[in-house]
Amino acid sequence: MSTLTVAAVQADIQWLDKTANFAALEALIVAYFRDHDALDLLLLPETFSTGFCTHDPMVKEPADGGDDLVWLKHMAAQHHCVMAGTVLVAAGDKKANRFYWVRPDGRVEFYDKRHLFRLGNEGDYVAQGMDRKVFEINGFRILPQVCYDLRFPVFSRNRQDYDLLVNVANWPAARRHVWDTLLKARAMENQAYVIGVNRVGSDGSGVAHSGGTCVLDFVGEPMVAASDNQVQIISTTLDIAKLDQFKQSFPAYLDADEFELK
C-alpha cells in the first residue's frame, strides 16, 4: 500500500528578505518535527524566499543554483523529505518562476510556471515555461503547478498520469473565493488529490493574502486546512489505494474527451 505524508507551509513572506524568510521557515519546520513523525514531502508557497517581486532585475537566482537551492538541499537532507517551492531564476534576458523539487539525496527536478499573470505584468519579466512535468514519490505521481496555472483546466487535465495536483501560490485575498472554488473543481474533475499552498500577509506592493492552504481529497472534500491569516504548517497522509478504489467505483475518466496540448 502506497501512502504519502505531506506538509504545507502557510507563511508570511517578508519582502526581499531571504535571511528573515529562511530563519522563519526553519523555525516553523523544526517546531513541526518536534510533534510529528517522518515526512515525505514539504511544500512552500510561490517565491517563498523573496515574495512575488518579478519586476526587480536583481531578484533572480543563477540558473545553475543559488542561495535558495542550497537552502532547499540542506533542508531536504536534514529532514529526509522532498522540499518544493518556487524561486525566480535567471532565464536568458528574463527569469523563470521555477518550481524546484529537491530530494533528500540532492537530486533536483523542476517545473517552470506556464501561465503568467497578465494583470501583474508577470510576462514582461518572466519567461513562460513550456513543459508539463510530473514528479514521482512513494508510488504517487504529482503534477506541479504555480498560482495562476490554477485557472486553466486544460493544462491541469488529468491524462491518467497523476494522482496528486500541487499548486503553490501567492494568491491575493481579493480573489480568495476563486482559489477555494478552483482547487475543489480541479480535484473533482480530475479525480485526484489536490494541495493548495498559499501565503498570508501583505507583500511589498501592498497586496494582502489570507491563506487558504489546504489538502483536498479526490471528490473535493477538505482533509485538512490552515486557519485564515495565520502562519501555520498543516499535514496529512494520502492513500493511493483509496484513490484507486474510488476511480474503479466511479470511472468518469473513461468518458473524458481526447485532446492534445500545443
Give the percent of the chain with pLDDT over 90. 95
Q: CA-to-CA distance for 190 and 167, rounded, in angstroms?
A: 14
| pLDDT the model gives residue 41 | 98
Provide the 3-class DSSP secondary structure of residue 111: strand
The DSSP letter of residue 34 is H
Question: Cβ of 57: how many Cβ atoms within 10 Å?
Answer: 11
Q: CA-to-CA distance for 44 and 61, rounded, in angstroms?
A: 17
| pLDDT the model gives residue 260 | 80
Q: How confident is the model at residue 1 (pLDDT cuts 50, 70, 90)?
A: low
Question: Which residue among 53, 81, 147, 214 is the active-site one?
Answer: 147
Q: Which of 170, 230, 228 is closest to 197 using CA atoms?
A: 170
Catalytic residue flag (residue 147): yes
Catalytic residue flag (residue 113): yes
Mean pLDDT of 141-164: 97
pLDDT tens digit sequence for 104-115: 999 999 999 999
Question: Which residue among 60, 73, 95, 113 is the active-site one?
Answer: 113
| pLDDT the model gives residue 26 | 98
Structural domains present in the chain: 3-252 (3.60.110.10)
Provide the 3-class DSSP secondary structure of residue 160: coil
